Structure 1
Amino acid sequence: MAGVLNGSVALVGAGAVGLHYGARLALNGEDVRFMLRSDYEVVMKEGIRLESVDGNATLHPAQGFSDASEIGPVDWVIVAWKATANERLAEVLKPMLHERTQVLTLQNGLGNCEALAEIIGPERVLGGLCFVCLNRLSEGYVRHTAGGRVTIGEWRPEPGIPRATRLAAAFEAAGVKCEAVEDLERAQWRKLVWNIPFNGLAIAEGGVTTDVLLADPEIEREVEALMREVISAANAKGLSIDEGVVDFEIGRTRPMGPYRPSSMIDYVEGRAVEYEAIWGEPLRQAKAAGVPVPRLEHLAGRIREKIGSR
């Protein structure tokens, strides 16, 4: 079975996001080559196991590699690791690039496309956003409990080159709801409406799940207020996000139950937290736009205190 992309794909970052979406693409015939670290031996022996509300699946065998140089030049690279690892981007990408390689980042927050553009040029960068509840339970084993939609956009669109549309078609063919959007920056800020309060307060409150946050009326009001500040900053940048998304985002979070946001998991497990991408850069951009965001500023301070005290 041939895939939609008609080319090779390197998947960098074998966490929950990378394993889930990479396996879905590979199961639909895409030539996906996974760069693996701690998961390598298990994936080579047992494959990638997906426990999903959309149906369980196993990709076995999977094309796994322990080093980027073993993968070699590919047509597409999907970056799915945390933004905290971006200092290694140039080193890891170099052996996988040829002159026409396109790179899609599925990372949270702001600044990731810019980091890629410095390495390969802005005309080859795409950004993607995953609206999904995923947790990596063990090596090569991912649980998908809700959502799954992906939004993809061009960082600097090239007229007549429908790269985002082609990628979206590949995800759709793999059973993943996906759309190509014209305004990637708006989509990035739209996701921050959820990520900033829920990831942030889950850390600030000591490492708690989303149901705990929403069970406290005072914290729920803080979630709402933070969302409105993010929307105000986005709208000051001309990105046009309706305040009705506040009720929508809180409403869709309640049925998630005791969901563990990815940044909270990193915090409680002692890993680096994506502070700059999710809170630092949005805070700087909000201030540059002349928008007062006192709650975001306070939350950012609480997060810095938490991660700095470990």
Structure 2
Amino acid sequence: METIKILVVGAGAVGGYFGGRLLEKGEDVTFQVREKRKQQLEERGLKVESINGNFTLRPKIIVAGESVEPYDVILVSTKAYHLDGVLDSIEPYVGDSTMILPLLNGIAHVEVLQKRFGIDRVIGGLCFVESTLDVNGTVIQKSPSHDLVFGELSGEQTERILKLDEAFSGTKANIRRSDTIVRDMWHKYIFITTMSGVTSLMRAPIGPIRETVGGQDTLTQFISEIVQVTRSLAAPVAENIETITLDRVNQLGYEMKSSMQRDMEKGLPTEADHLQGYLFEAAGQKRIKVPLLQMIYGNLKVYENSRNQG
């Protein structure tokens, strides 16, 4: 089989984990990182501590503008608020047949990438993994879930996607191809917007929120508002997506926090505009009343405004 050249943008909690699993398998993986992370990786290697198996590897590393050549697939695993910078950093590495595989939360980034690089170069993707970086740059992955899903946005089983499927198979992570990736991305969007919204509003893990007075009613109402907006956008979601989402939230571990909540606890930026903000704006355009979404998005904007003011 012909080797696929993979560029992973970022070696953080997500890119470091999945890129590391591909490298562990023996795939041709290069990480594009910032200078500080490059130094860290050169000194310590890419170290992953996971309940699914630990490893330390010495990956190929570049910073933006170094070793310019096209890659077969570019895996984008950064936060949504870093996307603008990512567009410039990956442009020199995008060739005529490059596939760009974004693992960002939400849906708005797909159009952004398509406008910059062309519709045909962008494929669909999402991931579920609870991972973080410790102070030494080690990727810590503690929960059983480590899923990456990808596929053609058209749903077709193209030659290139089957080739990518072969390259991604056989890793020690759950990586799979989906022929309904657009629907899968919307389902995750609804789930992550619900989870991040309520945990950031309540400043608590999901368990206490579920059990508090009115907790289930709040979750049900919030999911209903989100789904109403997504359906107004003609999103291809399941008929029972409300039930699917609520069941999924109720199955989460008691102490589970959203990455948005953890970012707030660290005083970091959030993906509020990319997640809740995108739907809130759509609700305004469609004249749909979303009182809970408005309150949750407002809470996030208060936090961001306060953060920006120091």
TM tier relative to shorter chain: 0.7 to 0.9
* Structure 1 residues 92-103: aligned runs within 5 Å: 92-103=89-100
Deviation >6 Å, runs of 4+: none
TM-aligned CA deviation for residue 131 of structure 1: 1.6
Separation of aligned partners in 2, 1:161 and 1:271: 40
Aligned match of 1:17 in 1, 14, 19? 14
Q: TM-score, normalised by structure 2?
A: 0.87
Aligned CA-pair RMSD: 2.4
Q: TM-score, normalised by structure 1?
A: 0.87
TM-aligned CA deviation for residue 201 of structure 1: 2.5
The verdict on how the C-alpha distance between 1:212 and 1:63 changes in structure 2, with shifts beyond 3 A counting, is farther
Query: Where in structure 2 are there 5+ consecutive unaligned residues?
Result: none
Q: Deviations over 1:67-126 (max 9, x none)?
A: 343353222111111110111133111221222111100101121111111111011101
Q: Deviations over 1:6-27 (max 9, x none)?
A: 2211111222001000000111
1:107 matches 2:104:
yes
The verdict on how the C-alpha distance between 1:160 and 1:56 changes in structure 2, with shifts beyond 3 A counting, is closer
Separation of aligned partners in 1, 2:2 and 2:14: 19
The verdict on how the C-alpha distance between 1:114 and 1:84 changes in structure 2, with shifts beyond 3 A counting, is same
Q: Which residue pairs with 1:222 in the alignment?
A: 218
Aligned match of 2:76 in 74, 79, 101? 79
TM-aligned CA deviation for residue 278 of structure 1: 1.0
The verdict on how the C-alpha distance between 1:124 and 1:35 changes in structure 2, with shifts beyond 3 A counting, is same
Does the residue aligned with 2:96 lie in a helix, a strand or coil?
Answer: coil
1:150 matches 2:148:
yes
Is contact 1:19–1:48 with CA below 8 Å preserved after alignment?
A: yes
Q: Which amino acid aligns with 2:134?
A: L
Q: Deviations over 1:272-308 (max 9, x none)?
A: 2112211111233345556543321221112111221
Worse overlay, 96-105 or 260-269: 260-269
Is contact 1:8–1:32 with CA below 8 Å preserved after alignment?
A: yes
* Structure 1 residues 76-225: aligned runs within 5 Å: 76-146=73-143, 147-156=145-154, 161-206=158-203, 208-225=204-221
Aligned match of 1:284 in 263, 281, 285? 281
Q: Which residue pairs with 2:51 in the alignment?
A: 53
The verdict on how the C-alpha distance between 1:180 and 1:115 changes in structure 2, with shifts beyond 3 A counting, is same
Q: Would you say how many aligned residue pairs link Structure 1 and Structure 2? A: 302
Separation of aligned partners in 2, 1:249 and 1:86: 28
Separation of aligned partners in 1, 2:185 and 2:71: 26
TM-aligned CA deviation for residue 156 of structure 1: 4.8
The verdict on how the C-alpha distance between 1:7 and 1:137 changes in structure 2, with shifts beyond 3 A counting, is same
Query: Where in structure 1 are there 5+ consecutive unaligned residues?
Result: none
Separation of aligned partners in 1, 2:171 and 2:126: 17
The verdict on how the C-alpha distance between 1:304 and 1:161 changes in structure 2, with shifts beyond 3 A counting, is same
TM-aligned CA deviation for residue 197 of structure 1: 2.2
